[in-house]
Every structure is written in C-alpha cells, then in structure tokens.
Amino acid sequence: MSGMADTCKPVENNNCWSLPLALMNIWCYGMLILWTLSGILLFPFALGLCLLILRWPVDRLMRWYIWIYGRGWLLLMSPFVSFRREQMENIRPGEPCLFVVNHLSFFDTYCMALLPVHDIIFAVRAWPFRIFWYAQFMRLARYMNVEDSSWFETLDNCKQAFANNGTVLFFPEGSRSRDGQLQRFYSGGFKAAIAAGVPLVPLCIDGTDILLPPGRKQLRPCRIKLRVLEPIDTETFSGNDGPIKLRKLVKERMATALEEMRRDRRETND
Amino acid sequence: MTEQEVIELIDSSLAEEFELDRADMTADANIYEDLGLDSLDTVDMVIVLEGAFDFKIREEESIRAIRTLGDIHRFVMQKVEENS
C-alpha cells in the first residue's frame, strides 16, 4: 500500500473502484472514526493532565489538542497521501498574524496541522458548528462563527487572539472551490488584519481536491502541498479601500503560487 | 449629490464588487434571495460603500436590518445627509 501516493495521478472518474482504492477508503475512514472517537473519549483525561502540567488556559489547550489530533490524522493518512510543507520559514512562531488559505476540500482544516504553530483560531461559517462531535471542541477552542457574529464581534475576537500571541485563520473564499480555481474572496479577514495591525500570511494548499473533492465520498491517493507565502505588512494598507487592495494583492499572489504548485504536480505525474 | 446620483453610485459600486447584473438591481430586490449575496458579503458591502462615499459605517444594527437594495439606498442617503 505504501507508495500509492508516489504514483498517484488525477483521475476524472471518481466513481471507479479498485481493490487498492477500496482498501484505502476502508483504512482512512476507519482510522478517522477510531482516531476521532479516541480523541473524544481521552479528552477529559488529557485536558486534566495538561491543565496540571502546562497550566495553559483551556481554549489554548484545546487548540493544541486539536493540532495533535490533526498530526495524528496526517500520520494515519500517510500510507496513501504524501504531505509536503514549503517555505515554513515565512512563519514566525509566537508572533501574531492572520492566515488566509484557499479552500478545496473538507480536509483542508486537518492539513493545517502541517503548520509549525498550534495556537490557531479558525474563523469559519456556521455549518461546522452543527457537526455535533466537533462542535463542543470548536467552541472550547474559541473558533469563530463568522456567519452568526457581527463584524465587531469578529474583530474583537481576532484582537483578543493576537493579544495572546495567537493566530487567526480565514478561508477568504468562504466555501470549497468546485473546480479548483480561486473563487471570489470575502474581505473580512483582510479588514481584520488591517484593523488589528498584524501581518497577513497567505497559505496555498494543493492536492486536497484530489484526496476528497467537494460533493464526493471516495478518497483517492494524492500528494498534498502546503506552501507559506511571504508575510504582508498590513500597515501600508490604510484608507477605506485598503482591505480591497490587500485582498486583490493576496489573491494575485496566491493564484501565481497555486499555478506553480499545480504545474509541479502535473510534471511530477507525467 | 442628488438622490439619483447617490443611487447610481451605490448600484454601480455594488455591481462592480459583486459582479451583479444591473437589470436585477431594483429597489425592492432582496439582496440575499434576488441578488445572491450572503451574510459574509455585508463586510464587503460596508467596505465598498465607505470607499464610494468616503464615510465610516458603524451602525451594526442598521446594517443587519438591510434586506433590499432600497434599504441600502435609504441607509446611504441618511448617512450622506448626516455628513453634509
């Protein structure tokens, strides 16, 4: 089974089943369920122990726990999925910043465990908060429901995170892309970075749309890459049109980086 | 600015930002059901209007009460009058 990721090619027909593919799906979904159940059951003990030893606030501990959960998922997927991190030196751990990342798949949030920082507050829509086995953890971690919050609540929450040297992550497209291309960006994250006076760090993810495209259930082997682009100083984007200028600049840089990442993927597959 | 000029500036700014069809932009068009905007677009809407009219919008409740394009027209007209 190992090495499937090294020979993966994008396949048009996602409804085709083969024995290796079936085995991959049984393993990955099975392990995901077991890993998630373990995480839920062990959580009270882990929380108590960590509160004693690390003495961090509960929400920060929760985010660290979620990051560990994500790291476990990466390991469990590794027989079928290869993960690669690029340009991680663009992240300065301990320094607050706002991440924006493109959105291709349900598993994009899991892939954020590739980052070298764990104290990330995700700013997401309302629907993940309705997944009951995740919702309580998300609330404890103080993830933001930007759909049901006012702008000022969102900004306040961001500023609190930054004051504690944490980071906030937005998906500026707001939903998963159906064709892999960047969709229109919402300006909320950009406006928050400017208002809070923190650097904005674009992240580009590639390959998760092959692993599990939107609307599909079948997992496929793939190569996933997460690239950190150069941080942008938001202090130069003042004025009423600052968020729009910043948004357009970031989208342009992300589009260029994603094209390069996809070209590399196509050349590797050939 | 006359009322018509204000409405034209609002409509053209929103059409450009959200790629809306001007033919759909009637005063009673619901911005969510008819024009396809969602709750996250309100932040962008505020940014666009602040940029077009060079004022600051802070009245959260008024913004959240907006449902139609006509509501936006009336909201901005009131802001323009307050600032003039």
The per-residue pLDDT for range B55-76, each reduced to its tens digit, is 888 766 678 889 999 999 999 9
Nearest to residue B20, comparing CAs of B5, B7, B31?
B31
- pLDDT (0 to 100) of residue A150: 85
> What is the DSSP code (8-state) at residue A126?
S
pLDDT at B50 over 70: yes
Which residues 6+ apart lie within 8 Å of B35 measured at CB?
A: B18, B20, B24, B25, B29, B69
Residue A248: name the closest of B6, B51, B59 by CA: B51
Q: Which letter, b or e, does each residue of A68-97 get, where b requires 16 or more Cβ atoms within 10 Å of its Cβ?
A: ebbebbeebbebbbbbeebeeebbeeeebb
Do A177 and A104 touch, CB atoms closer than 8 A?
Answer: yes
Is-contact A185 B44, C-beta < 8 A?
no
**Residue from B19, B43, B49 whose CB has the most chain A CBs within 10 Å, to mutate:** B43
Does A26 have pLDDT greater than 50? Answer: yes
Kind plus residue range of the DSSP H or E element containing A135: helix A132-140
Q: What is the pLDDT confidence band of residue A254, given thresholds at 50, 70 and 90? A: very high
Pick from B24, B17, B68: nearest CA to B43: B17
Residue with tokens 């950009």: A190
Mutation choice for A interface testing from B17, B19, B40, B57 by most A CBs within 10 A: B40
ipTM, 2 dp: 0.79
Alpha-carbon distance A134 to A138, whole Å? 6
Q: What is the per-residue pLDDT for A2? A: 38
Give the pair of three-digit tokens for residue A60.
């920060």
β-bridge pairing A167-170 and A81-86: unpaired
Indicate whether A67 pLDDT > 70: yes
pLDDT band at A6 (very low <50, low <70, confident <90, very high): very low
- The answer to whether the beta carbons of residues B54 and B16 sit under 8 Å apart is no
Q: What is the mean pLDDT of chain A?
A: 91
Q: Which residue has the higher pLDDT, A167 or B38?
A: A167
Tokens 């504690």, residue?
Answer: A164
The answer to whether A125 contacts B40, with C-beta atoms less than 8 Å apart, is: yes
| Over residues B20-26, mean pLDDT | 94
Query: What is the structure's pLDDT at A119?
Result: 95
Report the pLDDT value the prediction gives residue B59, as an integer from 0 to 100: 63
| Residues of chain B contacting residue A151, judged by C-beta atoms under 8 Å apart | 42-43, 46, 60
The span from the CA of A181 to the CA of A219, in Å, is 20
Q: Is residue A36 over pLDDT 60?
A: yes
Asked if residue A145 lies in contact with residue A154, where contact means CB atoms within 8 angstroms, the answer is no
Among residues 13-42 of chain B, which lie with CB inside 8 Å of chain A? 17, 19, 38-42
As a whole number of angstroms, the distance between CA B83 and CA A34 comes to 60
Residue A27 above 80 pLDDT?
Answer: yes
**Which residues are A26's β-sheet partners?**
none
Q: Does A29 score more than 50 pLDDT?
A: yes
Residue A1: pLDDT over 90: no
**Average pLDDT estimate for A114-142:** 93
Q: Which of A152, A126, A245, A192 is nearest to B38 (CA)?
A: A126
A152 pLDDT more than 70:
yes
List of chain B residues whose C-beta atoms are within 8 Å of the C-beta of residue A125? 40
Q: Is the pLDDT of residue A123 over 70?
A: yes
Structure confidence at residue A10 as a pLDDT band (50, 70, 90)? very low
- Alpha carbons A192 and A266: distance in angstroms, whole number: 36
Least reliable range by pLDDT among A70-84, A142-156, A219-233, B48-62? B48-62
Ranking A9-13, A213-217, B11-15 by mean pLDDT, the lowest is A9-13
Average pLDDT over residues A207-215: 91
